[in-house]
Each structure stands twice: as C-alpha cells, then as structure tokens.
Structure 1
Amino acid sequence: MSNLLWKALVVSPAVLGATLLVSTTAIAAPNATTEVSTVVPTVENPAVTEVAQTPEILAQATPTANDTKVLDQVNRYSNEGNQNTSISQVTSVSQFSDVQPTDWAFQALQSLVERYGCIAGYPNGTYRGNRALTRYEFAAGLNACLDRVNELIATATADLVTKQDLATLQRLQEEFSAELATLRGRVDSLEARTAELEANQFSTTTKLVGEAVFAVTDAFGDNTGDANNTVFQDRVRLGLQTSFTGRDVLTTRLSAGNATPFDIRDAANGTIPSSEGFQTFQVDSTGNNSVEIDKLTYEAPIGPAQVYLAAAGGRHSHYAAVNNPYFFDKTDGGNGALSSFSSENPIYRIGGGAGLALNIPFGQGGGILRPSSITVGYLASEANDPGISTGLFNGDYAALGQLNFSVGDRVALAATYVHGYNGAGSALFGSGLGLTSVDEGTGVATPLGVVGTAQANVLDAPASSNSYGLSAAFRFSEKISLSGFVSYHDVTQSGVGNDFEAWSYGAGVALADIGKQGNVLGVFAGAVPYALNRPGFGGGDVPYQIEGFYKYRVSDNVSITPGVIYLTSPGQSSDNDDAIIGTLRTTFTF
C-alpha cells in the first residue's frame, strides 16, 4: 500500500493530503471496547417492553481485556461497509460542528477542505475526527483527492500546491510511519484470526448457551423442619440457538436436574400436597439428573408480527409480556426470584406444551400512550398423544389473549385472559408438566401445580376454566422498580358439584445495582393461588408468602443469590405451623 501511495504522491502533493487524512483519523481513534454481537442474535419479544426488566442475554464467557480489544476489532473489521456511513462534500471547515480552531489538526483540515476540496463529512454535519476509518471511507476520500488532482491538472492550476505543503506532509508521514506500520500489522493479525475462527467454528448458524444452578437449601418450622434436611441440589441446561435469517431463532434445550421440593407438613405432621415454596430451579427437574429435551421452540417475525411456535416445553411466559422486572427470569432461569410465585403471575402457569402464539403491534401511540400490542397463544400439553381424548385439540389446552400497553417510558400494563380445559387428575397451575405428590403412607398421588395450594390446583374431574389477570410494572428510576399482579380463576368441573373460584395477588420492589453494578435486592409478597371453602378440601385461611433475596453478581457469568421464603398458613390453615425456606443459590451462565 505504501508503494502505491508514494507513486501517487509523485504525481501530485494533493494525494498526500488524503494520506494525512487517513493517517490522523485512524491514529486518533480511541481504543474503545464495545460489546461483540453474537453469531445468533436473540429474538426480541415484540410485545410492550417490560419496564427496567433485565433482558435475558445469551450467556457467553467473560473475555480478558486484550481479548475484548481483539474481538472488538474483529467485529468492526468484519462489518466494514455495512454501516450507514454516507458522506457529503463540504466547502468550509466551519461546516463541521465537531471541529474547533483549537483542535491540533485544524489547520491541516482547513487546508484540505478549503484549498483542495477533497474532504467530505457526514450528513449530520460532523467530521468525527477521533473515530477509526473504514476502508470504504478511505476509498471515498482518496477518490475525491484524485478527482481534484485531475481537475487541477486540466485547468493548469496545479501550482496551488506549494513546496511547503509537500514538506509538511512528508514530515508528518515520516513522523507517523511507525504507527502506520503497527496498524498494518494489527490488521494482518486480525485477518489471520478471523480466518482461523471461520475455519474452526462450531457452526455458522448455531450458538451453544448454558446454565448451571447449584443450590444449598433447607426448610425450617416445627413439623416441616423436622421432616426435611439440608440438601444440595442442581439443575443444568444446555441450549442450541440457531438462526437461519438473522432475525429468527430455533431453540433446542437439554435439561437435567436432581432438585425436589420440600415436604410441607400440617399440624398433625401429615404431608400437605401443595406447591407452596416451589423454587424455580425445582421446576422441570427430573429429580435424578437424567437428560431430556425440555424446550423446542422457533421464533420468527412475519411482517410486523412475531411468531412463536413450540413443539415441546412451550410456556405462555415465553412469548407474553410478564411485567415483573428483576423477579422474572425467562423459563424459570436461575437469575431472578427464588420462588415460582414471585417470578410471574400464576395465570401464565395454566397450560403448556406445544402450540402457536402471535404478538401483533397496533396503534400509533401519540402523546403519553405508546404503541400497544395484542398477544394471542394456544398451548396443548397432550399434543403428541393421538388418543381419543388427547391430541392437539381434544386434550388439555390453554388459550391466552393479552393486551399490552406502555405509558411513557416508566409504566407497562397488561390485561390477560386465559381459557383452559383440563382432564381429571391434573392441576390447574401445572404448566402442562403433570407433576404429582405421592403420600408416603397411602401411596395416593395428588396432582401438583407449579404454584399454589392443593385447593386451587387439584381437578378431580374434567374441568374448564376462565381466568383473568392484570399485571403492571412501574420504574421509579433506573435502579428502582415496583411490580405486581392479581388473577381470578373461575373453574367449572363436570358432574361433581365441585366448582370453585381461586385468587392470587402479589407485589414486589426491586433495587438494582445495590453494592455493585448488576446486583439486585428484591422483596416480593402476596397470596399464592388459593380457593377458600372448597367442598371436600377445607381450609378457610389465605396462605401468604414473603420472599427476600439478594443477587450478588460475581462476574458477567456467575451470580450468588442468598434468600429466604416465608410461608404462612400452609395448606390454607392457620392451625398449621408457618414454614421458612432458606436457600443459597449459585448460577453459572455461559
């Protein structure tokens, strides 16, 4: 490259002006470290953005400082020419809003602009002299100077370039020759590294992500405390995220775990078959570390809408706006609240499995009310079974409709309706998992939900349900968020005269960056799903749950979360002893 430029300089000193422009611009650029985009971008939920919610970001290993610089350079180098860097000609250096007479290169820039006319700026009137130069911009600047040289020769005005200009440019070129050589070597090194990455990468379309949860936990409180011991539980997830267009994502996730919930006891020291105190890492756990595919979904945009297609492990909270920032971690991950109740409105736990969902934006959103969206979805938990009373439409299912609104930049609202059908022996809030609790004495299996009491979950006959929910999140500031929900459920069972109504509500406050950036202090309290005075079940007291946790961010990929879950009136009876669950959870993401 240097030989080519030197030959051009012999033709006209104006070419040296282009060389000065390229050199000084490239050298003045700061070594800013930016986040490298992943091979497969996460498909964003097009529903109304949840306020201040920590986005679920694809996990990746923490690079060193040097590696970060190298990856940053690879990223910028591989994307040369893809950015909108169109330039426009200027006739005076004063047209650049970011160039001041005090700048060290002001006179040189003024000369190149006003004497030779071969310097261009950006459409917004800036020059960006401290930014790195791309090859496309270099080509544009060099071409402009060459055109000016031809013009000068044609009009016999080449004497505008003085010997003093030539001497100055030569001196500057010699002064920065070492830096130019270093830059050329770094570019060559980046090209070699890029070629090696392309030759040895796992896949051009797929990224491997993972999460491992280690949890030391115990339960306390008279009979409940006597019936349980301290345990060390785990859950591991490995996901393959594949993109075919850059805007879609196919998720194939493997999961294994050995976590089981605690045995909550009543006053008579009998087992209470409920989901009270269920922790998120205990959901979807096989209990024996056997591996299974717990999620197989595909998400892609179709026009303005976002499509969600689940073949296995589908959840309403995958595609619907939950509006519970900091407490909710998508698909019961290990970086939100400890308990399933604090994570999201129980209405999203009705149904699950395979199905289809759409997020459709609408409205112009003038003034304080922002553009809104409507979410519709259908999930069936027995979609793979071709039996008479199963399948995609004849088995257990749940159809969801939700309106999402944003008010300004600080408030998010959602109104949700779910119509569901469940066969006998299932749980209302079971997420289509088919969990059960087996009594040690009688061996009787009771349907177990992901959240709530047995009175609100157990369906001992085929039943249809209509559920209504509201959720909201308000961001006081960048570091304080308030969120809450309420849900009502009307359940009609066939032929047993055991219809019932269930309620649930809760609210929480989260404080971000407490003690360190990325830390979260959260407190959430409310009533877990309950059904008072249900015939044949008893229990006339409201069961409350209070949870407090502090997530300490050790690094970008490791967090430690100690917390306490306090349960009152387990089994909907104040005669039963309150229970306390203490947990120390460590989450690794990669």
Structure 2
Amino acid sequence: MKLFQKLIAAPALISLASGFAINAAEINSTDLSDYSNSNDLVSLGDFKSDTLFPGDWAYDSLKDLTNSPKFNGNSVSRLEAAAELNNLIVGGEGLMNGAAIDRLSDELGSELAIMKGRVDGLEARVNTIEAGSFSETTTMSGSVGFLIGATDSATPANDKVMMEYFYEVDLNTSFTGEDKLNIEIETGNATGVGVGADKVGLDWGSGNDDTLKVSDVNYTFPLGEWKVAVGESMDASKTWPNACSMNNMVDNLGDCGAGNSVDLGGDISFSTSRGFGDGWEIGLGTSANDGETTKGIFTEEGADYYGIALGYERDNYGFTVAYSDKETATYTGLVGYYSPEELPATISGGIELTDPKTGDNKSQWAIGISTEVGEGTLSLNAGTNGPIVDDAEEIYAYDLSYEYPLNDGMSITPFVYIAETVSGTDDTTGAGAFVSFSF
C-alpha cells in the first residue's frame, strides 16, 4: 500500500481495532466527503454483537494466544477480539495453533469478513482518489540547506557570523515519455557570507528574502535529432554540454571561471543541443534578459544574449569551448576535466577571456581537484578572484571543502576560503559549514 493510502486507511484500521467507526468528515477532504453515506464504509451498525467477558471460551482462548493488554480482566467487544484474532492470523500463529485459530475464526467469522470487506473497499476508493488527484508522470524532488559562516576582511562591516537557509522544490512532468515540463520553486535568506565592498561571496543558496517564488519554468522536448528547451527564468545554456566539475565554494571560481560563456545565463530563453556521436555535442542558445520589464523581448532597448558551445567527452576526460555575446561584451571560454585511471581524483579547470565593447580586455581562470577521502569528498580549488584587466595586478581566491554524507539524504560540508584583494588591503578569509537535505 502506498504512503498516501496508508495515511487515509490508518484511521479506519485504528477505529476498527478500538471499536469505533471512522468518520469520513474528520479526514477533511472534499474528495472523501461523498463517502459518509456510502455502504462501503464501516459503521457502528455493522457491529451490534455481544461483548466477550472473562470466562467466555473465546475470551480465554485469545488471552492465552496473545499478549494483548486488552485481555486484562475487562470485557472486550467482539470487534476488538476479531482485530486481535486477525493479528494472530497475519503473524503466523495460526500455523502453531491451528485448531484454536480455526474455532475462533468460526466464532468471529462475521466480524472478520466485515473488517476485510470494508477495509478492502476503502483501499479501492483511495486508489481511485489517488489516481485522479496527481499525475503518475509527475515527480517531485527537493533540497534544504542550512549554512553558518564567518568572515574576516578589510571591511569591518563584513566581519560577522551569519546563518542562512535555502529551500527548493523541483517538479517534473512528462507527457510523451520523451519531454519534460520543469517547475522550480525556491526561497531562502542568503545575503552572501562575506559579500560587500570586497566582492567576495559563496556559491551557495538564494537571496529571496524569505519569499517563496517560482524561480524557473521551462519545457524540454525532442525535435528530430535536437533537444530543445524554452522557458522563463531559464539559462540559455540549459541543454549545452559543460565539462566543468569543480566543487567550488567561492562564487568567483564558479563554472571553472567561465561563468559568462559556458554558463550563458538568461531570462526568457531558448536552448538547444544535439550529439554527433563519438562524444561530440553542440549547443546553441539565445535569451531576452529583460523579458520582465517594459523593454520587451528581443528589442533594441533590451539586453539580449546569444551563444554557442561545442563539447567533447570520453570515459575519463572531456572539454567544452563556448562563445557568447551579452550586448556589452563578448566572452570566450574553455573548461575541461580529467580523471586519471590510476588516481581516485578528478582535475577540472577553465579559462575565460572577456572582450568588452568599451574598456580593457579581461581574463580569469580557475582550477580544482576533488578526491575521495574516507567516505567523503575533499575538494581544493584556486583561481583569479573574478575577471582581471590585462596587465593589472592579479588577485586570487582559494577554497577547501570536505563533503561528508551523513546518510542517503543528508550531508555536511565544512569549508575554509581565502580571497585576495588589491595591494595594501587585508585579504578576506572565511570558514563555515553547511548541512544539505535531499528528498
């Protein structure tokens, strides 16, 4: 019996065992309200039989066969006795006490039959409700996270201990078996541990000011050899290959330092990709990033994104090269990973070049390694602390984390990081831990 069925049927079973009728109105469900007058429900009228008293052979026999506290010298209803007898039958005691069980079954046969018939009828009706109330092709997954962290930086106002949370629900529905309608709902209060004038933050959580909102709605479907996705608040790179596998903590190290090219971002977006065999895959995407404003989508006033990515992947290595145009600048990025067969580790990294329409060119890079240590995963990453203007002083960021699984649905990740700032000011350092729940 499924969980929902058990939740509905449990009151019926409890009421049967205690001699009381289940009241459908107490379930407080519109779908069950019509059951109150149904002949398939258990009612007290079904059980107007005599009570069993100490000294009755059936009472004494059940007392000898079971350790139930019901047979404590007080009378019991025949329905209560039938419930205890049913427990004996289900538990297998009838194999050892066949004659006694057979005689009790004959004595309480009417009550046993009513119990079975009524519960089976209720379960059948619950099956009908469940089948019609939620799509069998819809799945739900979710995650919750709690983070506590502290920073020490050149900006005293940022030196604080903070606690944040994040909650997300992901709903996926298929209509053909090959398509997927995805809806993501999230909330959180993450303001970013360490975020401020030093421009250092963690790649974690969501700053929604405790407001539950739909963060993404998109639909993915096949079109010939292509996989196509369209959506609101969707990255234009949603379907693209992406060979970055870094487990970074500092936000500026995200996407192997190529967060403007390989991970195109966007708002009202179109994304498509297809494979060509032998590990090759291409992705295309475009987005109107001002779709929610009065500027409209794909207008001269709006900010539109365009991009392309090419990926190649084998069993233990892969790479992705991408190019994007985001109105004010173009970006070229390269990311990749390598998992040596002789080592239980994955090396991942990338580089991105920025060519702004005005101003100087910039570049950034990141590299990291992840390896299994005990039951968890240890990750060490380093790279430039954001895009650096050519010929300018380079500043770097470093982070170290260890993800340890507490069980199948929980993990804890302690971390430390250092983010350099320009010469003459103190670096930003931080430490903390977060716990993640997946369901």
Classify the TM-score, shorter chain. Answer: 0.5 to 0.7
Partner of 2:333: 469
Partner of 2:204: 280
Partner of 2:309: 402
Partner of 1:342: 253
1:52-67 aligned at under 5 Å gives the runs none
Distance 1:197 1:248, change over 3 A: farther
CA shift for structure 1 position 237: 0.9
Partner of 2:393: 541
State the AA in 2 paired with 1:352.
G
Q: 1:522 aligns with which of 379, 384, 394?
A: 379
2:353 maps to 1:488: yes
Partner of 1:18: none
Superposed CA RMSD in Å reads 2.8
Q: Distance in 2 between matches of 1:318 and 1:500?
A: 30
- The runs of 5 or more residues in structure 2 that have no matched partner are 1-94, 96-121
Q: Distance in 1 between matches of 2:135 and 2:191?
A: 36
2:242 maps to 1:322: yes
1:304-315 aligned at under 5 Å gives the runs 304-311=225-232, 313-315=233-235
SS in 1 for 2:418: strand
- Please give the per-residue CA displacement for 1:485-539, whole angstroms capped at 9, x wherever unaligned: 000010014xxxxx22121101111113x212xx2111111113324379xxxxx
Query: Any conservation in 2 of the 1:375–1:401 contact (CA below 8 Å)?
Result: yes
Higher relative contact order by CA 8 Å / sep ≥ 6: 1 or 2?
1
1:91-110 aligned at under 5 Å gives the runs none
CA shift for structure 1 position 263: 5.1
Q: Distance in 2 between matches of 1:567 and 1:193?
A: 60
State the AA in 2 paired with 1:505.
W
SS in 2 for 1:417: strand
Identity %: 19
Q: How many residues align?
A: 314
Q: Distance in 2 between matches of 1:529 and 1:280?
A: 17
Q: Distance in 1 between matches of 2:185 and 2:370?
A: 31
Distance 1:414 1:533, change over 3 A: closer
Partner of 2:33: none
Q: Distance in 2 between matches of 1:554 and 1:469?
A: 36
Query: Any conservation in 2 of the 1:228–1:262 contact (CA below 8 Å)?
Result: no
Distance 1:392 1:482, change over 3 A: same
Q: 1:574 aligns with which of 404, 407, 423?
A: 423
Distance 1:412 1:349, change over 3 A: closer
CA shift for structure 1 position 207: 1.6
CA shift for structure 1 position 317: 5.0
Q: Distance in 2 between matches of 1:308 and 1:521?
A: 34
Partner of 1:168: none
- Please give the per-residue CA displacement for 1:68-107, whole angstroms capped at 9, x wherever unaligned: xxxxxxxxxxxxxxxxxxxxxxxxxxxxxxxxxxxxxxxx
Q: Distance in 2 between matches of 1:198 and 1:589?
A: 30
State the AA in 2 paired with 1:303.
G
CA shift for structure 1 position 468: 0.6
Partner of 1:415: 321
Q: Distance in 1 between matches of 2:123 and 2:397?
A: 54
Query: Any conservation in 1 of the 2:236–2:270 contact (CA below 8 Å)?
Result: no
1:107-506 aligned at under 5 Å gives the runs 199-200=129-130, 202-221=134-153, 223-224=154-155, 227-262=158-193, 271-272=197-198, 274=199, 276-281=200-205, 284-286=206-208, 288-311=209-232, 313-325=233-245, 327=246, 336-344=247-255, 345-347=258-260, 348=262, 350-362=264-276, 364=277, 370-387=278-295, 390-394=296-300, 395-406=302-313, 408-421=314-327, 464-477=328-341, 479-493=344-358, 499-506=359-366
Q: Distance in 1 between matches of 2:150 and 2:172?
A: 35
- Please give the per-residue CA displacement for 1:153-190, whole angstroms capped at 9, x wherever unaligned: xxxxxxxxxxxxxxxxxxxxxxxxx9xxxxxxxxxxxx
Distance 1:489 1:565, change over 3 A: same
SS in 1 for 2:292: coil
Q: Distance in 2 between matches of 1:504 and 1:476?
A: 25
* Worse-matched range after superposition: 349-358 or 521-530: 349-358
Q: 1:550 aligns with which of 402, 408, 414?
A: 402
Q: Distance in 2 between matches of 1:194 and 1:207?
A: 23
- Please give the per-residue CA displacement for 1:301-359, whole angstroms capped at 9, x wherever unaligned: 22221111122x2124532222122x3xxxxxxxx533333331222455411111111
Q: Distance in 2 between matches of 1:399 and 1:277?
A: 27
Query: Any conservation in 2 of the 1:530–1:542 contact (CA below 8 Å)?
Result: no
Q: Distance in 2 between matches of 1:198 and 1:473?
A: 50
CA shift for structure 1 position 541: 2.1
